[in-house]
Amino acid sequence: MNIYAYNTLHIRVYSNEGSEPIHVHAEKGDMECKFWLLIEEIEIREEFSFNLNPASKKEIKKIIYQHFDLIVDAWNKHFKK
């Protein structure tokens, strides 16, 4: 399920990962990463990245923080939590 899309950047959750803690996958061109959302701390933690340059990582993190509550709400609605 896409949560955010702009140009070639897509932030999404995968329907088969509802048993994991809240997280998002981001893709931009040939770059991909996964960030855990730490709800209590209002923080994010990188789980992995592939071909992610520093500028794109900064952009993705900024978007995740800007849409933190939206992501959490979308996750909870999608997985009925």
Helix (H) or strand (E) holding 65: helix 54-66
Answer yes or no: are the C-beta atoms of 28 and 8 closer than 8 Å.
yes
Structure-token pair, residue 41:
């701390």
pTM for the whole structure: 0.90
Instruction: Delimit the domains of the chain by residue range.
Output: 2-78
Buried/exposed 54-81: b ≥16 CB within 10 Å, e otherwise = eebbeebeebbeebbeebeebbeeeeee
Write out pLDDT tens, residues 3-45.
Answer: 888 889 999 999 999 899 999 999 999 999 999 999 999 999 9
Measure the CA–CA gap between 17 and 3, rounded to whole angstroms: 15
Confidence of residue 1 (pLDDT cuts 50, 70, 90): confident
